[in-house]
Amino acid sequence: MLRRTALAIALAFSATAGSTVASANDELLKLQKDPNQWVMANGNYASWRYSPLNQITRENVGQLRPAWQFSTGVLRGHEGGPLVIGDVMYIHTPFPNRVFALDLNNPGRVIWRYEPTQDPSVIGVMCCDTVNRGPAYADGKIILSQADTTLVALDAKTGKEVWKVKNGDPAKGETSTMSPLVVGDKVMVGISGGEFGVRAHVTAYNLKDGKLVWRAYSVGPDSDILFDPQKTTEMGKPVGANSSLKTWEGDEWKIGGGGTWGWISYDPELNLIYYGSGNPGTWNPSQRPGDNKWSMTIFARDANTGVARWVYQMTPHDEWDYDGVNEMILADNVEVGGQRVAKTLVHLDRNGFGYTLNRENGELLVAQKYDPVVNWASHVDMKTGRPQVVREFSTGSGGEDNNTQNICPAALGSKDQQPASYSPKTGMFYVPTNHVCMDYEPFRVSYTAGQPYVGATLSMYPPKGEDHMGNFIAWDAGKGKIVWSKPERFSVWSGALATAGDIVFYGTLEGYLKAVDVKDGKELFSYRTPSGIIGNVNTFTHKGKQYIGVLSGVGGWAGIGMAAGLGGDNEGLGAVGAYKALSDYTQLGGVLTVFALPN
């Protein structure tokens, strides 16, 4: 353990000395620490979604009320959340990907609006609704990754286009939903399309002019995935040559997926970016023997060159669609086994395991279930890092056309992209989760460019004998234990926000914005917004007063199936009286709601 600390310090020094952080965008490094603004999607580079603001507290949050609202005029699912830079709030919508700059001095007045012209045929190749998780801000620009993969930089003052570049090809099923991250003088952005047999990548573009700097694929030859066979490590060992190619048969890697549609985090001291990759090619595991590296993987890459420092594959040879794209939360001084670890990465994966790693070298420290119903694997072998798959729930072991039942979690994961919050004040992680299980039957499919490449049928339902499909939990990432768990009728599909007021905010699919006590999850506030919330909560001040902002507008993955209700007619759901279809609770419609305490 001591040795680990020494190594960590040595690594930290060498990284700082060797990198060119000095050329980075210092503006953003400073702004991300200013609690009065909200300058990047997850609050700061470490993706904490935490605010030291403390005007709204455990004691007074019950008096919170809407200050003003704004309709986006778009019906589909509104993921992501507002940015606040100075006196201006920036919000966005799903396709057609409008962006509004709103004047906080004159609440809701539109300073400018931008709506790109996109071929609507892209809508048909977006897997799960036309969501978008919002733009990034840097250097006087708002950078938006449109559905059709156009990355566009807008002048933050006027909304005029500064530059535009095409990051992918929707004709091949490549689309975009993610929020880009600006690191130094580069914009980092990924690709969606795991259900269309794309081969995804993360690409860095020049912030100044949109010129491509580096591109790192998730699967393929070392030169494509930017791996150094000797220096890139997994579980402390060099990965060796062709680490991806040798885990695929034939040319299957060319349609190998590994979608990069989640969140990117950044550690300025190590100059490393962190993100995860999604499912490999088809959902039918029999069509792709091997570990299918580096799908379902956490990547740590040098921000300047894109070269991978370390990787960790959480779900080798996926058989359940457990994309590894969820946010990477960079927490410091987490206590693991009685020792403080200076720099950790905490990741609550779709596969139901909460991972804690040393983010300097990728050492695996903790891997524990964060929903007790998770059953596809008994545990993670801490020596090899591999999950111990339970044969009964392996969808590949029975081969094609064999239905595997009662797998937990379902394909949407114990948690999807909806980002958790980390409070450095309590040291706890506050996690929106899904509590859903599934039957999964793989079958053979053929690949056609730009068409769904799925190859499995699924049915999803709440865990047997239970009547709720979500929990909002507090997670101890050092111990790998649930501290408290608050049940919710539906999956919690909203990004959380913890504050120094000892409260955590999140939204529900019925449309409630809630605030709960950090210590026990007790509900202190709830307000019904006009539609279900799949957006992420933020906070900021304006003229010295603290506000809370959130987009409502149901849709996304949550809008599939939950619109009609999960589960079959004959599954005994009648006995579970509380369970009803989401459509009985909410309808579509994008609205921003800004909350404040009464004056």
Partner 1 sequence: MKISLVSACVLAAALAGPARAANDAKDDYERPYHVEDGKVDQSVYNGYRRYGNSCLQCHGPDGLGSSYAPNLTESLKHMTHEQFSDTVINGRQNVTASQQNVMPSFGHVEDVVMYLDDIYAYLKARSDGVLGRGRPERMLKK
Task: Answer yes or no whether residue 561 interacts with partner 1 by CB under 8 A.
Answer: yes
Closest CA to 37 of 113, 101, 90, 112: 90
Q: Which residues within the stretch 188-207 sit at the binding site for partner 1 (CB under 8 A)?
A: 195
Residue among 268, 306, 455, 478 that touches partner 1 (CB under 8 A): 455
CA 392 and chain centroid, separation: 29
Terminal Cα distance for the chain, rounded? 52
Least Å distance, CB 378 to partner 1, is 26
Q: Fill in the DSSP letter of residue 565.
A: -
Task: Answer yes or no whether residue 576 interacts with partner 1 by CB under 8 A.
Answer: no
Task: Answer yes or no whether residue 387 interacts with partner 1 by CB under 8 A.
Answer: no
Least Å distance, CB 225 to partner 1, is 28
Least Å distance, CB 123 to partner 1, is 4
| Distance between CA atoms of residues 22 and 15, nearest Å | 13
Host H or E run for residue 543: none
One character per residue 343-382, x = contact with partner 1 (rule: CB under 8 A): ----------------------------------------
The verdict on whether 321 is a catalytic residue reads yes
Residue among 29, 245, 563, 576 that touches partner 1 (CB under 8 A): 563
Task: Answer yes or no whether residue 120 interacts with partner 1 by CB under 8 A.
Answer: yes
Task: Answer yes or no whether residue 14 interacts with partner 1 by CB under 8 A.
Answer: no
Task: Answer yes or no whether residue 129 interacts with partner 1 by CB under 8 A.
Answer: yes
| Distance between CA atoms of residues 578 and 485, nearest Å | 19
Least Å distance, CB 78 to partner 1, is 11
Q: Which one of the listed residues 267, 321, 349, 371 is annotated catalytic?
A: 321
- With contacts defined by CB under 8 A, name the span among 60-68, 264-272, 359-367, 563-571 that binds partner 1: 563-571
In angstroms, the Cα distances linking 239 to 236, 359, 385, 447 are: 9, 17, 14, 30
Task: Answer yes or no whether residue 458 interacts with partner 1 by CB under 8 A.
Answer: yes
Residue among 238, 290, 424, 452 that touches partner 1 (CB under 8 A): 452
Can you tell me whether residue 4 is helix, strand or coil?
helix
Closest CA to 141 of 261, 27, 35: 27
**For partner 1, the closer CB: 337 or 568:** 568
The total number of residues written for the chain in this structure: 599
Cβ atoms of residues 188 and 180 within 8 Å:
yes
Residues 6+ apart with CB under 8 A from 491: 412, 416, 432, 433, 434, 435, 436, 469, 470, 509, 558, 562
Task: Answer yes or no whether residue 130 interacts with partner 1 by CB under 8 A.
Answer: yes
Least Å distance, CB 118 to partner 1, is 10
Q: Which residues within the stretch 286-315 sit at the binding site for partner 1 (CB under 8 A)?
A: none
- The secondary structure of 295-354 as a DSSP string is SSEEEEEETTT--EEEEEESSSS-SS-----S--EEEEEEEETTEEEEEEEEEE-TTSEE
Residues assigned a catalytic role: 321
Using CB under 8 A as the criterion, which residues of the chain lie in contact with partner 1 when the complex forms?
73, 75-77, 95-96, 120-121, 123-125, 127-130, 195, 403, 439, 441, 443, 445-446, 448, 451-452, 454-460, 554-555, 559-561, 563-571, 588
